[in-house]
Chains A and B, each alone.
Chain A
Amino acid sequence: GAVVSQHPSRVICKSGTSVKIECRSLDFQATTMFWYRQFPKKSLMLMATSNEGSKATYEQGVEKDKFLINHASLTLSTLTVTSAHPEDSSFYICSARSRWRTGETQYFGPGTRLLVL
């Protein structure tokens, strides 16, 4: 099956710093990647849709200047949480949609747990 990786798997940072999370599709090309956030005991909430070579589409209520998304290649998308604050502490999960498979599912990465002190 298709493999999606995320790095780092866990990060602790101080309030005010920026954190970059990478999402890679390892064995397929992904024209579209999605970024989700999940708070404890809550559902996954879609933050943005990232398309290779174009600007990301953010969901309502998600600050694009705070959550910077770059999808520079068909196998890599990055999410940067700028000036992180404790309320940004969450589980961030990416998923990738295969380019060549119509009607295919999206494949989820293992997630990145962010703790902002």
Chain B
Amino acid sequence: QKEVEQNSGPLSVPEGAIASLNCTYSDRGSQSFFWYRQYSGKSPELIMSIYSNGDKEDGRFTAQLNKASQYVSLLIRDSQPSDSATYLCATAREKSSGDKLTFGTGTRLAVRP
């Protein structure tokens, strides 16, 4: 069983729509949850972190965490073509991403102009 699972996609949405990305994890000891964006051939870039149940908003991005269901999601509002990338969900056992991270395989998002 994979520790962090994501639908590989591609998830295709029109420009301006809301993109919804989902992730489940199996390690109940996970304390920190992250969303990274990775463009093709590039390294990951942190876009959101969340540590407590509920929602966390940052600009067009909202992360949602439900520890009971072991579920993390990322909403991207007003999607832009430049958002087209692979989104990686990651977990850590410490309360920061300074700990070693366990990554999902990523969901590829394609935003159609």
Interface residues of chain A, those whose CB is within 8 Å of chain B, are 32, 34, 41-46, 49, 91, 93, 97-98, 102-106, 108-111, 113
Contacts and interface: CB of A to CB of B under 8 A. Distances in A.
Interface residues of B, number: 21
A104 B98 CA distance: 6
Given A41-B8, A41-B105, A97-B98, 5 more contacts: A44-B44, A44-B101, A45-B103, A46-B102, A110-B43
Interface string B58-101: 00000000000000000000000000000010000001111011
Interface of B: 4, 8, 41-46, 49, 88, 95-98, 100-106
B44 A108 contact: yes
A81 B44 CA distance: 22
A91 B41 CA distance: 8
Given A43-B88, A44-B88, A44-B103, A104 B96 contact: yes
A83 B89 CA distance: 33
Given A32-B98, A44-B88, A105-B97, A111 B105 contact: no
